[in-house]
Amino acid sequence: MSASPEGGTHRLRVRYAETDRMGVAHHGSYVDWMEEARTEWLRQGGKTYRQWEDEGVLLQVVEVHLRYMKTTTYDDEVEIRTSVAARGRASITLEYEMRLVGDDELVAVGRTKLACVDGAGRLQRLPAL
């Protein structure tokens, strides 16, 4: 794996489709944003997630944790900072900080644990970063 061990950043803008009638981002959108930031973290390391999959390295989400501090609304720009929290023989845990662009206010923190599996779903060794 060649993703940056220091972490990465990814920016996105809250889309209208991700909000409720009051323009507040739906809580489930944050899980999608973490996934997008994770795949961009891999891309920033020089290889896309698609390339990892083509090589038989699949990262299966086995845990998701989220804590919300402040709502985000339609058209807010959010920066997601991804970092490696822990690394096991066949798993990796990533942490995410979601901050509003401009004032750097923390809106949410999250964590995902991913198991490295092959095409048949069997655990396999996580490639070196």
Task: For Cα atoms 51, 56, 57, give the angle at the middle one, nearest 5 degrees.
Answer: 75
Q: How many CB atoms lie within 10 A of CB 94?
A: 23
Query: Where does residue 39 fall: left (phi above 0), alpha (psi -120 to 50 degrees), or beta otherwise?
Result: alpha
**Active-site annotation holder among 20, 32, 54, 118:** 20
Residues recorded for the chain: 129
> Is residue 104 annotated as part of the catalytic site, yes or no?
no
Contact 110/64 with Cβ under 8 angstroms? yes
Active-site residues, by number, are: 20
